[in-house]
Amino acid sequence: MNPLADWSTEQVWEYIRKNGIPYNPLHDRNYVSIGCAPCTRAVGLGEDIRAGRWWESPETRECGLQRWI
């Protein structure tokens, strides 16, 4: 069982800050969901948290790099 499965995003960030856990600094620039460079962009105000991923090809939901990993 995953102890974080029921945590909200706010709870995760509260834990990160409280415990000084390192995180990717792109999060501070509105990169909410971080993947490979071609498929990741900052999320705009009001957008879904996954809006910053696979933005170049929404119909396939991947850029092609994932096919080779």
pLDDT score at 20: 97
Instruction: Note the pTM of the prediction, 2 decimals.
Output: 0.68
Query: What CA–CA distance (Å, rounded) separates 54 from 40?
Result: 7
Pair 32, 49: CB distance under 8 Å: yes
The residues that are catalytic are 63
Query: What CA–CA distance (Å, rounded) separates 41 from 49?
Result: 11
Q: Which residues pair with 53 in a beta bridge?
A: 40
Q: Residues 5-64: pLDDT tens digits?
A: 999 989 999 999 999 999 999 999 999 888 877 778 899 988 888 787 765 555 665 665
Query: What CA–CA distance (Å, rounded) separates 11 from 55?
Result: 27
pLDDT score at 10: 93
